[in-house]
Amino acid sequence: MSSKRSSKTSKNEEPSVSLKAQTGKTWGRDKDISYNTVLLSTLILTCCPLLVVYFWVVCTHYQCSIIEPIILLQSNDFSKEAFESVILHKLPQFSLDGIKIYFAWLSFQAILYAILPAKIGYGQRTPAGHILPYKVNGLLAWLITHTLYLVGAFYFKWWDASIVHDQWGSLFIAANIYGYFLTFFSFIKAYVMPSHAEDRKFSGSFIYDLLMGIEMNPRFGKYWDFKLFHNGRPGIIAWTLINMSFAAAQYNKIGYVTNSMILLNFLHAVYVLDFFYNEDWYLRTIDIAHDHFGFYLAWGDTVWLPWMYTLQSHYLVRNPIDLSIPYFLFVLGVGLSGYYIFRAVNHQKDIVRRTNGDCMVWGKPAKFIRTKFVTSDGKTHSSILITSGFWGISRHFNYVGDLLISLAMCLTCGFHHLLPYFYIVYMTILLIHRIWRDDARCRGKYGKYWDEYGKVVKWKLFPYIY
């Protein structure tokens, strides 16, 4: 796990020159964590798990009504007995079956990741100057997993197609056991056997390091990458599997699958398949290029993502809805327009960078700013920031597309309850916070070039709004 093996070659390497802004304390994650950041980190570490448990309880026992348990507690003066009967006695239960299913599924995914034939993709240059290789075989893993799930359920009858729904509580316990184990394992690994020691960031706060991680690219061996595996496999592959299983549960319950459930499954599948079809592109997004591996990604990918990103399918099992054809088409239109924007914006950035700016954008030669940045080994590299096409409209127009798809996913559930809309609220907060984080990172990395870029592309998300 030494840093020596990773590729540091680059055709852009030049002798080090003085680029003061870029060589600041770091253009990776911040050091010098403030008291408020530690406080916020503590809140996230405690509140996120509680929120997932609460949502599990309201979905499983209260028809997905967020306020019903609160009304019940209030009508009993928030007594200890009421708290026990309304919440505590309704918590998910441990079962050996859940543990076996979860760890069999996790091991299966880990083996697929390790042994399936793969294209080798490359990430962005890290702050310490590494360009890491990644095994890209997610699409094949997705196909094998879903084929096995369907054939096992409908042909061999090894399991019921609603198995994930039926074991939802015990799987939740199992996923938490793994999510917490992974968080602490990664934390200790960062100290005792780091994969790339120079890319570690120690903030000085135990809480912050636990939440946001120390190692940037923890790995086993040359290719088994913690971030790509956990985000893609127990995270994103599970997404469509969970939805299908909840659609089967709806069928078992009412005898058919509603068009709202079909639409939701379709929109999620488009997003998930896009992710795996473009897995190589994902290597150059903030998740892989910037984030370190702590609770945020370890527990986030194994518990938060599968349990919170699929809330709409839980809702539709408990509250089946048949959408009118015009409303169905409207939601489909919102989702597909969002998807088009999301993919087209991300594709523009990828193609312009891949061709080093020598390409057409919207029928005209691409416009961009050529930048320089310095890695912590003192070497200077160059990159480009696009300023035409979607990237001339705002600095994160891809997030607009993502927000539209997310909204469409929520709209499949109609307007009777708040819970299905949690996803769009969460995505809005996540992406706006990302804009702030990315701005700080890029200013640190590109210095005066980022200021120049900000003058050309003024809007951060949407023109005249933000």
Closest CA to 384 of 374, 373, 396: 373
The CB-of-455 to ligand NDP minimum distance in angstroms stands at: 13
Nearer to ligand NDP, 230 or 395 (CB): 395
Residues 310, 243 contacting (CB under 8 angstroms): yes
* Rounded Cα–Cα distance for residues 341 and 73 (Å): 44
Phi and psi, residue 8, nearest 5°: -120, 10
Nearer to ligand NDP, 168 or 391 (CB): 391
* Rounded Cα–Cα distance for residues 360 and 367 (Å): 9
DSSP line for 201-234:
---S-HHHHHHH-S-SS-EETTTEEHHHHHIIII
The CB-of-427 to ligand NDP minimum distance in angstroms stands at: 7
Nearer to ligand NDP, 62 or 304 (CB): 304
Nearer to ligand NDP, 98 or 232 (CB): 232
The CB-of-451 to ligand NDP minimum distance in angstroms stands at: 13
Q: What is the largest CA-CA distance in the chain?
A: 72
The CB-of-169 to ligand NDP minimum distance in angstroms stands at: 24
Closest CA to 135 of 225, 199, 219: 225
Closest CA to 400 of 443, 341, 466: 341
The CB-of-285 to ligand NDP minimum distance in angstroms stands at: 3
Closest CA to 409 of 397, 389, 423: 423
Give CA torsion, residues 110, 113, 114, 115, to 10 deg.
120
Q: Which residues bind ligand NDP (CB under 6 A)?
A: 124, 285-286, 289, 342, 346, 349, 383, 385-386, 391, 395-396, 398-399, 402, 434, 438, 441-442, 445
The CB-of-349 to ligand NDP minimum distance in angstroms stands at: 5
The CB-of-252 to ligand NDP minimum distance in angstroms stands at: 29
Nearer to ligand NDP, 101 or 385 (CB): 385
Half-sphere exposure at residue 286, Cβ-oriented, CA atoms within 13 angstroms: 17
Chain position carrying tokens 């003058």:
455
Nearer to ligand NDP, 130 or 189 (CB): 130
Nearer to ligand NDP, 26 or 85 (CB): 26
